[in-house]
Amino acid sequence: MKIGLPKALLYYYYAPLWKAFFDELNVKYIESSDTTSKTLLLGKEKSIDEACLALKIYLGHIRELKDKCDYILVPRIFSLKKTEQVCTNFNCIYDLVRNTFKDIKILNYNIDVKRHYTEKNAFIKIGKELGFSIIESRNAYKKAKEIEKTYYLQEEKKAKVALKTNKTKILLLGHPYILKDNLIGKSIINYLEKNNISIIYSCQIPRDLIEFNCSKISTKIHFTMNKEEVAAFNYFKDKVDGTIILTAFPCGPDSLANEMIIRKRKKHPTLLLTFEDLTNNTAVITRLESFLDMLKGGIHL
């Protein structure tokens, strides 16, 4: 038996946890390959015009995996905290995939903390579907959680190292599935690295500082995943030279959170890059190049 993990959307939040859980239970899994233009094309054919770029890419990954594995892991997340909500894409993605691809078997888990469906229960349910006992699944989940924790600690350390250099430092802010995607964020990262810039990612903020830092900018953000970005902005803004916000069009939660950041940034240099369909990136490069020129008061006679 083989589980397929589409390398898009929630993969970039949960991959360490998922992989550790399956490793622990000795279940085989495969990941889809990095996003390419072809992935996007495959996804576009299956999505409606209202879907965001990231969702189109996700569907492309599902199509790639479809015939290569027995199950595809498609979680449904409704809420991760009692008073907060997540992007509607994560609410609907299970139903969306099931209705778009009739012939695939989905390994599903449901997290809805408002209605007491916790992450732990969700993993026990996966275990059950794959034929493991509650105790086996629970132990595997416990161990996977430890591994996830060390992963985030490593990420924090990476940020600390990136902040220590003498190079120009830029905070790259956005959902990890945008920042780390091979088609979207990678081109930006490559450009920045070529220009000798040290990059800090918004997802590298220490987990336990998110609530506090977010409240410094606003206490009323109710999108769980955007809290991380808003908090990262507050936490890193005095340590970096500038911030680049990447977002996919049309992202509902981002349109609120990014606006909040831009209004509260004061004099901190900030660039907002919106991605739609990517056929050429000259417009993006123009904006990036001028932003890098401007940092540290670089444009003057």
Partner 1 sequence: MEASLGIDIGSISTKGVILDNDNNILASTYLWTEGNPIKAVKKVLKDLERQIDKDVKVTSVGTTGSARKLIGTMLGATSIKNEITAHAIGTLSKYPNIKTILEIGGQDSKIILLDNGIVTDYAMNTLCAAGTGSFLSSQAKRLGLNVEDFGKIALTSKNPTNIAARCTVFAESDLVHKIQMGYKRNDIIAGLCYSVASNYLNNVGKGKKIEGPIIFQGGVSKNIGVKKAFEDLLHEDIIVDENGHLMGAIGSAILARKTGIKKEFNFKVKDANFETSGIECKGCPNHCEIIVVKKDDKILDSWGNRCDKGALKVKEQ
| Nearest residue (CB) to partner 1, 88 versus 190 | 190
Q: Does 102 bind partner 1 (CB under 8 A)?
A: no
Question: Which of 136, 173, 166, 119 is CA-nearest to residue 22?
Answer: 136
Contact string (CB under 8 A) for partner 1, positions 259-278, x = contact: ---xx---x-x--x-x-x--
Rounded least distance, CB 192 to partner 1, Å: 15
Count of residues interacting with partner 1 (CB under 8 A): 28
- Residue from 36, 100, 168, 218 touching partner 1 (CB under 8 A): that is 36
Question: Which of 62, 73, 137 is CA-nearest to residue 108?
Answer: 73
Rounded least distance, CB 102 to partner 1, Å: 25
Contact string (CB under 8 A) for partner 1, positions 124-163, x = contact: ----------------------------------------
Rounded least distance, CB 252 to partner 1, Å: 16
Q: Does 39 bind partner 1 (CB under 8 A)?
A: yes
| Nearest residue (CB) to partner 1, 16 versus 253 | 253
Q: Does 189 bind partner 1 (CB under 8 A)?
A: no
The stretch among 7-15, 36-44, 69-77, 209-217 that binds partner 1 (CB under 8 A) is: 36-44
Contacts with partner 1 by CB under 8 A lie at 36-39, 183, 187, 190, 249, 262-263, 267, 269, 272, 274, 276, 280, 282, 286-287, 289-290, 293-294, 297-301
